């Protein structure tokens, strides 16, 4: 009987180890879940969104692995993001932190903000006013302006602006160096991104973790974890399984 019991424990341990290895493998080469803790990507992503990021979209770097061990440099099967991709990356000055922003500039591009309007390579990016928008994030609710921004290749996304004369609405022209990309938040007046060179700056391509694909869960924070009876009302049902664009 004792021998049988020992064998049972061994089989259980093997199952746990195998399951762990499979989970690490999926997280490394396929998809990884992330949650949104701040409002820098409103209106595309809201605080309380949970999404899946594809790890294979830009190839693999050391940061594709848990804890980012320095096993190799650069990227394997690497390819650049497309302008407009929403991507997760490791913060250049502190790679223990994950950031998620929209990739706006590719290597060699010139990026500038003038009175709230994005300029790419000297040309203004079309911005269409859609109306007022009530923003709820990690601060007080406020009514801002909602725009549709159309990139040179025709790809469109939504952004919000409180003002066109904020600290980040007028910048010098940034030239994206080789091997780097330029990232902006969709909440243009409340985003720490590549415009702030001493905080984020240009993002090395090696730091890219993956592309945001779709939201699989979303809660508005109105119910505490123990308020089981309120859970159904806190879920943003309309956001579940929606693509990130």
40 a catalytic residue:
yes
54 and 31 in contact (C-beta within 8 Å)?
A: yes
* Structural domains in the chain, sorted by start: 2-243 (2.10.109.10)
- Which stretches of the chain drop beneath a pLDDT of 70? 1-7, 12-29
Tell me which of 38, 40, 191, 218 is the catalytic residue.
40
**Cβ-proximal residues to 66 (8 Å cutoff; 6+ apart), any chain:** 24, 27, 28
101 a catalytic residue:
yes
Residue-wise pLDDT for 19-41, tens only, equals 555 555 555 567 899 999 999 99
Tell me which of 64, 101, 194, 218 is the catalytic residue.
101
Torsional sign, CA 112, 114, 117, 123: negative
| Inter-CA distances, 12 with 2, 3, 45, 138, Å | 16, 14, 40, 43
Predicted model pTM: 0.88
Q: For the chain, what is the mean pLDDT?
A: 90
């Amino acid at each position: 009987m004792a021998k049988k019991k020992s064998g049972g424990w061994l089989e259980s341990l093997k199952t746990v180890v195998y399951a762990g290895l499979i989970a690490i493998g999926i997280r490394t080469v396929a998809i990884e879940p992330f949650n949104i803790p701040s409002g820098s990507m409103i209106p595309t992503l809201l605080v309380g969104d949970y999404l899946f990021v594809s790890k294979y979209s830009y190839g693999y770097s050391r940061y594709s692995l848990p804890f980012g061990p320095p096993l190799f440099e650069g990227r394997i099967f690497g390819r650049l993001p497309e302008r407009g991709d929403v991507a997760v990356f490791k913060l250049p000055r502190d790679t223990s932190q994950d950031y998620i922003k929209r990739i706006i500039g590719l290597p060699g591009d010139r990026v500038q903000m003038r009175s709230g309007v994005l300029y790419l390579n000297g040309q203004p990016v079309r911005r269409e006013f859609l109306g007022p928008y009530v923003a709820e994030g990690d601060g007080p609710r406020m009514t801002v302006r909602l725009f549709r921004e159309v990139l040179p290749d025709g790809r469109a996304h939504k952004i919000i602006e409180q003002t066109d004369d904020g600290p980040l609405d007028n910048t010098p022209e940034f030239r994206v160096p080789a091997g780097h990309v330029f990232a902006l938040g969709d909440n243009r007046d409340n985003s720490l991104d590549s415009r702030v060179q001493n905080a984020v700056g240009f993002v090395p391509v090696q730091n890219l973790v993956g592309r945001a694909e779709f939201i699989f869960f979303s809660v508005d924070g109105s119910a505490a974890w123990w308020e089981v009876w309120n859970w159904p009302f806190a879920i943003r049902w309309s956001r579940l399984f929606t693509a990130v664009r």
